[in-house]
Amino acid sequence: MWAGVAPEGAVAQSGMTLTRLSLTDFRNHAGADMAAGPGLVALHGDNGAGKTNILEAISLLAPGRGLRRAALSDMVRDGAGGGFAIFAEVQADMQEGADLPPVALGTGIEPAHPGRRIVRINGASAAAASLGEWIAVLWLTPAMDRLFVETAGNRRRFLDRLVLALDPRHAQHSNRYEAALRARGKLLADIAGADQQWLASLEAQLAEHGAAMDAARQRTLAALSAELAEQPDAPFARPLLTLVDSDGVPRAAVHDVEGLKALFASRRRIDTAAGRATAGPHRDDLSAVHAATGRSAARCSTGEQKAMLLSLVLAHSDCVARARGQRPVLLLDEVAAHLDPSRRTALYERLAAQGGQAWLTGTEAALFGDMPGPVTRFRIAGGRIAAG
């Protein structure tokens, strides 16, 4: 488990280290076994070699659907028997020299049940949500570059991943909220014949879990805002973050249980006509503004948007370190290629100074030539992995 909360005012320098990662029939990797140490891990190789696949495998060691949000069956290597396996040993780097044994995490699917994800912790079966109690994983990929101009749903999912790293219970509340939302929608499809007692019970569940979700989101945004306020406007652009409703209006107060129960009850006929729940935490959105210019992130240049995302992820790493006493594992896919040399150097120096482990990918080994140590380097070619 986690080492505890970092002292007030200090950011933990220790982290979780994936000391071993093994893949079997995952994407283009028939079999791979990697050993890495704390610090920076650099993966280089041509496009299509399988670098991002390795990051995706690591992302599946945390709750959720991974950095691509792909179907489990799509992750099975072409020509394999229908299943895949991911295994990792995770070592907590303790601040006071305590020697804890590594934790064994595993996930995958079996050919007989291609749609059912299996999770094991130290060899014992476990729920996927429980992975968050052992490891936090944050990532930034090229597919996220358009986050600020895409749908509110994508931004909510991004925010919820940030929340999950700080509060593993968020996954359970989100799953139960979504289940109750679906069940309520089926009842409202025939509102005249709906069991009113059951409908009220579902709305009570929605209110309970929705209020918990909203409180966790608000805590995360408050912590992120505090971290970002301490950061300079350069070399990475600093965003100002706000939770807004579906109309883009900043939320004036948190959702409370009684207020949500009344909201859902009052909108039954509206939701019936719309064929969906038109209000609630599932409709909120994340708004971002460039701190230095005051422009909405959606109106900023592509470079500014990328810089704000990077700044946000680095600040969130500090939030997790403060809250949980251990740094998360960072996955930064093709980030270095989009930075000029001075910003690239600044990124490497910051990652090395803050401790923990960060995995970075790039097409050229030269992109990682000036990384401060310790650095573990791998060359990826055609699904094969070699040191260096």
Predicted confidence (pLDDT) per residue in 324-383, tens digit? 888 899 999 999 888 889 999 999 999 999 888 999 999 999 999 989 989 999 999 988
Residue 158 has what pLDDT? 94
- Residue 59 DSSP symbol: H
Residue 8 has what pLDDT? 41
Query: Do 156 and 277 belong to one domain?
Result: yes
Query: Do 131 and 32 belong to one domain?
Result: yes
For residue 10, pLDDT over 80 is answered with: no
Q: Is residue 155 part of a domain?
A: yes
For residue 9, pLDDT over 70 is answered with: no
Q: Is residue 141 part of a domain?
A: no
| Structural domain boundaries, residue 339 | 1-136+326-388
Type and span of the H or E element at 329:
strand 329-332
Residue 173 has what pLDDT? 95
Residues ≥6 apart with Cβ < 8 Å to 311: 228, 231, 236, 237, 238, 239
Mean pLDDT of 232-261: 90
Q: Is residue 166 part of a domain?
A: yes
Q: Please name the amino acid found at residue 150.
A: E
Residues ≥6 apart with Cβ < 8 Å to 182: none
Name the domain boundary from 320, 345, 373. 320
CA distances from 62 to 128, 160, 244, 275, 335 (A): 8, 13, 27, 33, 21
Name the domain boundary from 301, 320, 339. 320
Mean pLDDT of 56-75: 94
**Greater model confidence, 114 or 56:** 56
Residue 4 has what pLDDT? 32
For residue 95, pLDDT over 60 is answered with: no
Q: What is the pLDDT of residues 180-226, one digit of tens each?
A: 999 999 999 998 888 999 999 999 999 999 999 999 999 999 999 99
